[in-house]
Amino acid sequence: MAVASTIIYDYLRGKKKFPHVWCPGCGIGITMGALLRAFADLEIDKNDVVMVSGIGCTGRMPVYCDFHTLHTTHGRAIAFATGAKIAKPNMKVIAVCGDGDGLAIGGNHFIHAARRNIDMTVVLVNNKIYGMTGGQYSPTTPHTKLGSTAPHGNVEHPFDVYELTKGAGATYFARGTVYHATLLQSLMKKALSKKGFSVVEVMSNCHTLYGRLNREGSAVKMIEWMKENAVNIKAASRKTPEELEGKVLIGEMLDIERPEYCEQYEALIDQLGGRPKDKPEAEESPEPEEIKK
């Protein structure tokens, strides 16, 4: 345990950046710990990692992580990450987003990056609410639950992030919770190792806003709820729909193979003779007609 807890110091930016901005007990810290341990397990060089985020409580994570870090505009993390990945295809690119940042304002980029199957890992911290702006309902707030902009209960219905990710064309999806921190770490390891668009949805607690508004109690109580109500996908097949009612399925839910965007584009460059060393073989490009002098 002692060893496990010091490993992540190698991946943190040191004392100067702490204390962090998150509320005591917020699940985002556990998520970051699991993620950094996954990097440590895989022995990925920090110089090879680009961590991109947008705006929100989760968006603040890159400040603390000693990678190339890019804290972008609201919702655009995946689009910035797409540019960085294509420009430097050898970098390991991850985007960390909250549910509002990743699926509302950033939803378009999320589905299109999944469709392209571009090699990056999205860590989607789902606490079912906008935290930083004060508890407004998000695309994952359950129907009838309260938010500061859903004072009479949420009229809308939430996304099923797994169905969305799968439908959009991603090749890996897993869901974990901040209670199951070691499982989360191993799911993240798997996602980071996957060539293609991989998503790890992290069920997290925002006790400060969601918990308070919906009377779900303290951080500890909310995390205990995850312990009691999460069902591993492997066990779920042996349960009836009635038994699964209101439960959260966790574990690896999608792991398929499909051609990856950057690999395909790099192959196109090779095929067209675009690399400096094989330039001579370049096939003549069509060009506008020259003016006869």
Partner 1 sequence: MTENRSYLLQGNQACAYGALAGGVDFFAGYPITPSTEIAEILASELPRQGGRFIQMEDEIGSIAAIIGASIAGAKSMTATSGPGFSLMQESMGYAYMAEVPCVVVDVQRGGPSTGLPTKVSQADTMQAKWGTHGDYYPIVLAAASISECFHMTVRAVNLSEKFRSPVVLLLDEVLGHMRERITIPDKSELELVERRKPTVPPEWFKPFELTPTHISPMAGYGEGYRFHCTGLTHDSSGFPTSDPAEIKDKLDKLKLKITQNSDEICTYKQEHIDDCHIVVIAYGVAARVAQQAVRIARHKRFKVGLFQPDTIWPFPEKALRKALENADLAIVAELNQGQLINEVKRIAHSKVKVDGIFRYDGDIMTPHEIVKKIREAN
Nearest to 103 by CA among 163, 146, 176, 40: 163
Residue of the chain from 30, 36, 50, 57 that contacts ligand SF4 (CB under 6 A): 57
Pairing outcome for strands 68-71 and 129-130:
unpaired
Q: Which positions from 73 to 112 touch partner 1 by CB under 8 A, shown as an x/- string?
A: x--x--xxxxxxxxxx-xx----------------xx--x
Indicate whether 119 belongs to the interface with partner 1 (CB under 8 A).
no
Which three-class secondary structure state does DSSP give residue 124?
strand
80 interacts with ligand SF4 by CB under 6 A: no
The yes or no reply on residue 203 touching ligand SF4 (CB under 6 A) is no
CB of 263 to partner 1, least distance (A): 13
Return the DSSP state at 289: P
User: Residue 61: CB partners within 8 Å, gap ≥ 6?
Assistant: 28, 31, 32, 51, 53, 96
Position 23 contacts ligand SF4 (CB under 6 A): yes
User: Should residue 185 be labelled a site residue for ligand SF4 when binding is judged by CB under 6 A?
Assistant: no
Q: Which does 87 bind (CB under 5 to 8 A by kind): partner 1, ligand SF4, none?
A: partner 1
Characterize the bridge pairing of strands 120-126 and 129-130.
Answer: unpaired
Nearer to partner 1, 109 or 207 (CB): 109
Residue 53 sits in the site that holds ligand SF4 (CB under 6 A): no
Q: Which residues is 281 bridged to in the sheet? A: none
Retrieve residue 270's tokens: 């090779």
63 near ligand SF4, judged by CB under 6 A: no
SS3 75: coil
List interacting residues with ligand SF4 (CB under 6 A): 22-23, 26, 28, 57, 127, 131-132, 206-209
